Homo-oligomer: A and B are copies of this chain.
């Protein structure tokens, strides 16, 4: 059997993302993680120092590109609503992303790769001001934060959704997600319109 250092590293990051997203930092055990990765747990210490080091690496790996590729297309409130819908779809494809964000906030004192992410957010906020003329910088940031909070919240405050949404509550979670997506797009559009 040959070496595969890059592959081993990536398998640990992937398994870390799965495990940390599902169970959080405290809830994840090194045994389960290494079993998931198909790699001996000693490798974690060789590559990432310790458990916390892997956690930080996973967060930086996954959260760094959170807003990459998801840019507002076009102009006007409807474009902002559509962008929120895209963000929602992205979470739907990879729900781990949203949960990692939540664990980061709850279990860490400061954001992973904060500088890079802050720069991305500044870029998105200024772009938002181009899409919605007359929006000042502070309000653009708060709008951005609210959109991300609303969309992320569906995955990270899931029990809240269970409790609040009982009208037309089909047993199918997919239907609930569809309905929520539609409601969010409309609400974000309304937020964007109130400039």
Instruction: Name A residues whose Cβ lies closer than 8 Å to a Cβ of B.
Output: 23-27, 99, 101-108, 110-111, 114, 117-118, 121-122, 125, 137-139, 141-146, 148-150, 152-154, 156-168, 179-180, 183-184, 186-187, 190-191, 193-194
Contacts known (A27-B107, A191-B187); A145 close to B162, Cβ less than 8 A: no
Cα–Cα, bound, A179→B137 (Å): 13
Q: Are A141 and B122 neighbours in the complex by a CB distance under 8 Å?
A: no
CA distance A164 to B122 in the complex (A): 7
Shortest beta-carbon distance, A102 to chain B, in Å?
A: 6
Q: Closest chain B residue to A158 by CB distance?
A: B105
Q: Are A121 and B166 in contact (CB under 8 A)?
A: yes
**With known contacts A142-B183, A153-B153, A157-B152, A163–B26 Cβ distance under 8 A:** no
Inside 8 A of A121's CB, which chain B residues have their CB?
Answer: 163-164, 166
Q: List 29 A-B contacts (CB under 8 A).
A: A24-B27, A24-B107, A27-B27, A27-B107, A101-B160, A102-B106, A102-B157, A103-B106, A105-B158, A105-B160, A106-B106, A110-B159, A118-B164, A121-B164, A139-B183, A141-B164, A142-B180, A142-B184, A142-B187, A145-B165, A146-B184, A149-B149, A149-B160, A150-B153, A152-B153, A152-B157, A153-B153, A156-B157, A193-B194
What CA separation (Å) do A24 and B163 show in the bound complex?
21
Other A-B pairs, 7, CB within 8 Å; known A103-B106, A138-B183, A145-B161: A106-B106, A121-B163, A142-B179, A142-B187, A149-B153, A149-B157, A190-B191
Minimum CB–CB distance from A100 to chain B (whole Å) comes to: 11
- A110 / chain B contacts, CB cutoff of 8 Å: 159, 162
